[in-house]
Amino acid sequence: MSAANHPSSGDTAVNPHHWSGLIEAYRLYLPVTDSTPVVTLLEGNTPLIPVPTISGLIGSGVKVFVKYDGLNPTGSFKDRGMTMAISKAKEAGAKAVICASTGNTSASAAAYARRGGMQAFVIIPDGYVALGKLAQALLYGAQVLAIEGNFDTCLEIVREMAQKYPVTLVNSVNPYRLEGQKTGAFEIVDSLGDAPDWLCIPVGNAGNITAYWMGFCQYHQQQQCTRLPRMMGFQAAGASPLVLGKVFPDPETVATAIRIGNPASWDKAVAVQQSSKGKFTSVTDAEILDAYRLLASQEGIFCEPASAASVAGLLKVKDQVPAGATVVCVLTGNGLKDPDTAIEHSNNQCQQGIAPTTAAVAKAIGLED
């Protein structure tokens, strides 16, 4: 049963304008009731885009798609989990939510909290959040506090805050976050007609790889797909605790969204890797940036650097991909989240100082000698 055929979802496949958000689309698969107040920005229903250039680089008849969750309302996959977390918090009577964030969670929590009539408190590592993400949280009205420390320290603080004070934690340790995020797997199956052979995904706090596996397993149990994918998780080399099996006390990478040294969902992610016969692999910042530029320049897809880790990883292990396989790479966030990195690492630069005449412009672009 695809989302389009769910009794609660309407004729989504016929008229996409009937999309009512992922809770309504997948209500039968989510822990909600008729009394759950749905807080939504119409998240989900993001495109699964074929990427022929990437497919060509892999070869052997492999078909590669990207699940572009950067087209969610606040520009990242976090909206999938946040609609569930905030809806359930509102159902429980919460007046305020709190989160630690490298950026995307803060933007999403702030937006959905405001939508649900709640206050959001955001704790971020000082100097380690892309400006685009910080701007979102501030404009949505969150109270943002930057602390001296990394993300893992921020998470320790908010977990303690949620235990001691009347604030609901909405990081991925909140089980409702994963319930919402698993819908990405549902949408992939609904689009392809089955699960892919491989699912490639960036790994930071490790909640998303856990959630996707939950979704594929649930759909498989309900006979909505005939197979389960091999789950391939990719971490930045400077923040690769799952790859090396040790905590990174000072993680460092250009991919700020996955700059996490001690993932909250560590054990769950390892269980996913073992159950799916998957693998965790690290990719360097250079490999991430190469994939980041490749997606933009060859496929017209602008994702944030952390998202490109999934494609960088696939290219790194391309010799392991079975011939004829279907592969989906999850792109978790929009490139507009981090314009500074785009400008700094682009191979293309703005030509400045051009005279304001047609002749000068024609000469600058090579149409006149």
The pLDDT value recorded for residue 17 is 67
Please give the Cα distance from 332 to 211 (Å, whole number).
Answer: 13
Q: Which residues contact 17 (CB under 8 A, 6 or more apart)?
A: none
Alpha helices (H) in 92-234, listed in sequence order? 104-115, 131-139, 151-164, 175-181, 183-192, 207-221
Ordered per-residue pLDDT tens for the chain, 369 residues: 444 444 344 344 445 568 999 999 999 999 999 999 999 999 999 999 999 999 999 999 999 999 999 999 999 999 999 999 999 999 999 999 999 998 899 999 999 999 999 999 999 999 888 888 889 999 999 999 999 999 899 999 999 999 999 999 999 999 999 999 999 999 999 999 999 999 999 999 999 999 999 999 999 999 999 999 999 999 999 999 999 999 999 999 999 999 999 999 999 999 999 999 999 999 999 999 999 999 999 999 999 999 999 999 999 999 999 999 999 999 999 999 999 999 999 998 899 999 999 999 999 999 998
Between strands 48-50 and 63-68, the pairing is antiparallel
Please give the Cα distance from 54 to 65 (Å, whole number).
Answer: 9
Closest CA to 322 of 255, 206, 229, 188: 229
The pLDDT value recorded for residue 9 is 40
Please give the Cα distance from 328 to 65 (Å, whole number).
Answer: 5
The pLDDT value recorded for residue 132 is 86
Q: Which residues contact 311 (CB under 8 A, 6 or more apart)?
A: 51, 54, 66, 200, 291, 294, 295, 329, 331
Secondary structure of residue 108 in the 3-state scheme: helix
The widest CA-to-CA distance across the chain, in whole angstroms, is 71
Instruction: Indicate the DSSP class of residue 250.
Output: S
Q: 265: which 2 tokens? A: 């969902």
CATH architecture of 78-174: 3-Layer(aba) Sandwich (3.40)
Q: Which residues contact 265 (CB under 8 A, 6 or more apart)?
A: 172, 173, 205, 206, 207, 209, 210
The pLDDT value recorded for residue 369 is 86
In terms of phi and psi (left: phi > 0; alpha: psi -120 to 50; beta: otherwise), the region of 149 is left
C-alpha 309, offset from chain centre = 11
Gyration radius of the chain over CA positions: 21
Extents of the domains making up the chain: 3-75+177-337, 78-174
Return contacts of 240-244, CB within 8 angstroms, 24+ apart.
240/280, 240/282, 241/266, 242/203, 242/206, 242/266, 242/269, 242/270, 242/273, 242/280, 243/280, 243/281, 243/282, 244/282
Element (H, E) at 79: helix 78-91
The pLDDT value recorded for residue 10 is 38
pTM of the complete model: 0.92
Q: Do domains 3-75+177-337 and 78-174 have the same CATH topology?
A: yes
Q: Which residues contact 153 (CB under 8 A, 6 or more apart)?
A: 125, 147
The pLDDT value recorded for residue 102 is 84
The pLDDT value recorded for residue 15 is 54
- Give me the count of residues in the chain: 369
Q: Please tell us whether the domain made up of 3-75+177-337 is placed in CATH 3.40.50.1100.
A: yes
